[in-house]
Amino acid sequence: MISKSLSEYLKTIYILQVKNQEIRVTDIAIEMNCSKPSVNKAINNLKENKLINYKTYGKIELTKEGEDLAKKILEAYDIVYIFLKDVLGLTEEDAKSEAEKIKLTLTDNTINKLAKYVYKQLNLDTLNCNYDIANKRCLECERRKIKKSE
C-alpha cells in the first residue's frame, strides 16, 4: 500500500489522464498546487512502485497496476463520502473532508461491507454480484441500474 500523499498524486494523474491530457510534472504541480520538486519526488516513488511509466522530462503514464489502484482509491472515497453524506447526514463539505481522511485507513473488506450497507440503506439494488472493491465490473453494473432508474 502507498502513502496518503502518493495516493493523492496517483489519483490526480488518473484524473488528468481521463481528461485525455498528456501529463507532465508541471500539470500535476498546477493541479495539486504544489512544487515541481515535490511532484518529482512523488513521481519517482510511484515509478519505483511500478505504478507509472516516466522518463525524465517525458510524459507520465499510469501502468495497469497504477490505473487499477487509482480507480480503487476513487471508489473508496466515493463509498465513504456517500455513507457520510447520505446515510449519516453530514454536510457536503464535511463529508468530503472526512472521506479524504478516512478512505485510506479502511481495508478492502471494510470498504466492501460499507458499500453493501450504503446500498441497502439507500434502497438501491442489492449488491448480489459479490461486490468487491477490487472488482470494478460489479460496481459498474450497479451504476447502470441506478442511471436507468433516474
What pTM does this model have?
Answer: 0.74
Q: Is residue 143 very low, low, confident or very high in pLDDT (cuts 50, 70, 90)? A: low
Q: Are 144 and 94 within one domain? A: yes
Choose the final residue of a domain: 62, 85, 110.
62
Choose the final residue of a domain: 41, 62, 83.
62
Confidence at residue 126, expressed as pLDDT on a 0 to 100 scale = 53
Range of the domain at 11: 4-62
Q: Is residue 137 very low, low, confident or very high in pLDDT (cuts 50, 70, 90)? A: very low
Task: Residue count of the chain, please give it.
Answer: 150
Choose the final residue of a domain: 62, 86, 103.
62
Q: What is the average per-residue pLDDT within 25-48?
A: 94
- Residue 25's CATH number: 1.10.10.10
Confidence at residue 129, expressed as pLDDT on a 0 to 100 scale = 54
For 66-100, write each residue's pLDDT tens digit: 999 998 888 888 889 889 988 899 999 999 899 98
Whether residue 125 has pLDDT greater than 60: no
Q: Are 58 and 109 within one domain? A: no
Q: Are 23 and 55 within one domain? A: yes
Q: Are 82 and 138 within one domain? A: yes
Q: Are 35 and 76 within one domain? A: no
